[in-house]
């Protein structure tokens, strides 16, 4: 995707790339988030057509949406559809609406303040709180990376017959793909992401058509059902869906990558940037809603209604899809989409890890070292569980990783809402009272669900 030209005269200069290990004192000196790509995407002239201006902002939303359809979503959506039919579609829809709101707030924070969420936490909270928030973020990234490793390893096994342990080890090679694309330019990275998202969407569109689900049952599934809160297993999977959908590290990521656009750092320039960034992420997350809903719909139509309610593993779904749907290519499409999802998700994990480490600790390390470190921490549990319990254990580990992500959500959501509703920090870009009430309501729902999950787990 080539960069639109030309630009306006107030475009900030691109800072020099930093690749050596470096630890600096935390200050509010205006150090840019992701300095190597800050303001690197040029915008058309201010008098250009609106659609050209909008297209120049398209990209970060799709990068963020990757986290909302990664392999972790597959585990929760497949299990939810197979066990409970279309009932949990309402959870997918509600969690996606939460995500649209929270990602819009994240973009607003980054554009209005010039600070990503990690930097804002560093500026605002005492050191002990920042250390705790950083550890929670790192745990969330490892859990997300764990899902990516498992998804990639399972996809390679299904497509090429590779052992899970070998597939997990090979997944480390994606670090070099990320580095190559980053060196070419941020728009190349965005184009790569959008290309793989298109493959995933096409694969599931074909499968939904082949499954031919009853329209009435699907529409009814989008209406929240009371038994979701009273049925323990259904609630466990529902919270897993929320954890897989609203990704905590994506809030840090989005507040950073929206700053890659070379918009005017003036009130009017920021207003335009917030408007287009919000449209970008909202449209992209609607695509994520379609894909997550499609996974659950296919599972419900193929497994729940045919007596295969016990299907919970990705391998079982792959094996049964083609025979049940009567479409020989269905299983292959499923595995190809899984591989694309696993590959795609590594990009956001890499960038989020860099943003969090630099924002909270001001610790700058080479990107390849950061990627290998994070991926190594995710590979080890996969290899250990695979060796002890086989593929069944890996499937449970995948679902558990999504519950961990859900437990980490408050550590990102609460600071975000706190900052964007603070007039001293946001100035004229502070959110309205109605939006503040809505945002705190979403944060409260997430907290209540997590407390219930923790109580049920301990009891």
Q: Given this model, what pLDDT does residue 275 score?
A: 96
Query: CA-CA distances (angstroms) from residue 148 to 3, 74, 151, 152, 252?
Result: 29, 11, 5, 6, 19
pLDDT at 219 over 50: yes
pLDDT range class, residue 66, cuts 50, 70, 90: confident
The Cα angle at residue 203 between residues 197 and 204, in degrees rounded to 5 = 95
Structure tokens at 187: 């728009």
The average pLDDT across 177-203 equals 87
Structure tokens at 443: 């944060």
Q: Given this model, what pLDDT does residue 335 score?
A: 92
Alpha carbons 178 and 188: distance in angstroms, whole number: 10
pLDDT range class, residue 380, cuts 50, 70, 90: confident
Query: CA-CA distances (angstroms) from residue 183 to 16, 340, 343, 358?
Result: 13, 21, 18, 19
Q: Which domain holds residue 206?
A: 29-458
Structure tokens at 253: 């990521």
CA-based nearest residue to 398, from 244, 251, 248: 244
Tokens 């090679």, residue? 173
Structure tokens at 184: 């070419």
For residues 256 and 229, which has the higher predicted lDDT (pLDDT)?
A: 256
Q: Given this model, what pLDDT does residue 348 score?
A: 76
Alpha carbons 257 and 264: distance in angstroms, whole number: 16
Alpha carbons 294 and 77: distance in angstroms, whole number: 9
Instruction: Specify the CATH number for the domain of residue 297.
Output: 1.20.1740.10
Q: Given this model, what pLDDT does residue 22 score?
A: 36
Query: CA-CA distances (angstroms) from residue 160 to 152, 163, 169, 177, 273?
Result: 12, 9, 15, 20, 44
For residues 373 and 292, which has the higher predicted lDDT (pLDDT)?
A: 292
| Domain assignment present for 84 | yes
| Domain assignment present for 252 | yes
Q: How many CB atoms lie within 10 A of CB 277?
A: 28
pLDDT range class, residue 393, cuts 50, 70, 90: low
Q: Given this model, what pLDDT does residue 215 score?
A: 93
pLDDT at 216 over 90: yes
CA dihedral 447, 452, 453, 455 (to 10 degrees): 120
Assess contact for 39 and 14: CB atoms under 8 A.
Answer: yes
The Cα angle at residue 356 between residues 352 and 361, in degrees rounded to 5 = 155
| Domain assignment present for 74 | yes
| Domain assignment present for 13 | no
Q: How many CB atoms lie within 10 A of CB 424?
A: 7
Q: Given this model, what pLDDT does residue 402 score?
A: 64
Percentage of the chain with pLDDT > 70? 83
- Helix 186-211 and helix 174-184, axial crossing angle in degrees, nearest 10: 130
Lowest mean pLDDT among 48-52, 293-297, 447-451, 452-456: 452-456
Percentage of the chain with pLDDT > 90? 41
| Domain assignment present for 16 | no
| Domain assignment present for 8 | no
pLDDT range class, residue 25, cuts 50, 70, 90: very low
pLDDT at 21 over 60: no
Model's pTM, two decimal places? 0.85
pLDDT per position as a tens digit, 320-338: 899 998 888 989 999 999 8
Q: Given this model, what pLDDT does residue 382 score?
A: 67
Q: Given this model, what pLDDT does residue 164 score?
A: 80
The average pLDDT across 2-13 equals 47
CA-based nearest residue to 346, from 183, 207, 170: 170
Where residue 307 falls (left for φ over 0; alpha for ψ -120 to 50; beta otherwise) is: left
Structure tokens at 50: 């609106």
Alpha carbons 457 and 247: distance in angstroms, whole number: 21
pLDDT range class, residue 168, cuts 50, 70, 90: confident
For residues 370 and 136, which has the higher predicted lDDT (pLDDT)?
A: 136
The average pLDDT across 40-44 equals 91
pLDDT range class, residue 272, cuts 50, 70, 90: very high
| Domain assignment present for 405 | yes
For residues 383 and 289, which has the higher predicted lDDT (pLDDT)?
A: 289
pLDDT at 367 over 80: no
CA-based nearest residue to 79, from 225, 296, 289: 296
Task: State the first-to-last Cα distance of the chain, in angstroms, to the nearest integer.
Answer: 52
Structure tokens at 248: 């905590």
The average pLDDT across 290-301 equals 92
For residues 76 and 58, which has the higher predicted lDDT (pLDDT)?
A: 58
Helix (H) or strand (E) holding 302: helix 267-302
| Domain assignment present for 4 | no
Q: Given this model, what pLDDT does residue 14 score?
A: 44
Domain count, the chain: 1
Helix (H) or strand (E) holding 413: helix 367-420
pLDDT at 49 over 80: yes
Structure tokens at 98: 């939460």
Tokens 């309501």, residue? 441
Alpha carbons 91 and 238: distance in angstroms, whole number: 6
Average pLDDT, the chain: 83
Query: CA-CA distances (angstroms) from residue 178 to 72, 175, 284, 367, 445?
Result: 20, 5, 21, 9, 35
Q: Given this model, what pLDDT does residue 376 score?
A: 67
């Amino acid at each position: 995707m080539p960069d639109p030209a030309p630009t306006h005269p107030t475009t900030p200069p691109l800072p020099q790339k930093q690749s050596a290990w470096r630890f600096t004192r935390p200050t509010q000196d205006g150090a840019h988030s992701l300095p190597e790509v800050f303001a690197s995407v040029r915008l058309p002239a201010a008098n250009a057509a609106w659609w050209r201006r909008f297209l120049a902002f398209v990209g970060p939303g799709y990068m963020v949406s990757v986290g909302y359809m990664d392999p972790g979503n597959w585990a929760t959506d497949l299990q939810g559809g197979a066990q409970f039919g279309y009932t949990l579609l309402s959870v997918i829809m509600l969690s996606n609406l939460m995500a649209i709101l929270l990602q819009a707030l994240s973009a607003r924070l980054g554009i209005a303040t010039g600070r990503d969420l990690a930097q804002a936490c560093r500026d605002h909270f005492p050191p002990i709180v920042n250390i705790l928030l950083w550890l929670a973020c790192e745990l969330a990234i490892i859990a997300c990376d764990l899902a990516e490793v498992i998804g990639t390893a399972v996809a390679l096994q299904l497509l090429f017959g590779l052992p899970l342990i070998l597939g997990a080890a090979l997944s480390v090679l994606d670090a070099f793909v990320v580095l190559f694309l980053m060196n070419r330019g941020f728009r190349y990275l965005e184009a790569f992401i959008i290309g793989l998202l298109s493959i995933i969407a096409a694969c599931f569109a074909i499968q939904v058509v082949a499954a031919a689900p009853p329209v009435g049952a699907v529409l009814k599934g989008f209406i929240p059902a009371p038994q979701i809160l009273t049925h323990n297993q259904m609630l466990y999977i529902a919270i897993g869906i929320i954890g897989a959908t609203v990704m905590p590290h994506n809030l840090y990521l989005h507040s950073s990558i929206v700053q890659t656009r070379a918009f005017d750092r003036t009130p009017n320039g920021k207003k335009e940037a917030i408007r287009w960034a919000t449209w970008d992420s909202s449209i992209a997350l609607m695509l994520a809603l379609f894909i997550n809903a499609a996974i659950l719909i296919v599972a419900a139509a193929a497994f729940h209604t045919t007596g295969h309610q016990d299907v919970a593993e990705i391998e079982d779904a792959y094996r049964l899809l083609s025979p049940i749907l009567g479409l020989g290519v269905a299983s292959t499409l499923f595995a190809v989409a899984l591989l694309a999802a696993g590959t795609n998700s590594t990009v956001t994990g890499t960038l989020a890890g860099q943003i969090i480490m630099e924002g909270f600790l001001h610790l700058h390390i080479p990107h390849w070292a950061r990627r290998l470190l994070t991926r190594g921490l995710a590979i080890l549990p996969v290899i250990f569980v695979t060796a002890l319990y086989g593929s069944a254990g890996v499937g449970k580990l995948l679902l558990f990783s999504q519950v961990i992500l859900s437990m980490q959500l408050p550590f990102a959501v609460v600071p975000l809402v706190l900052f964007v509703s603070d007039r001293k920090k946001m100035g004229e870009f502070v959110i309205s009272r109605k939006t503040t009430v809505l945002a705190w309501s979403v944060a409260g729902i997430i907290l209540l669900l997590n407390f219930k999950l923790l109580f049920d787990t301990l009891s």
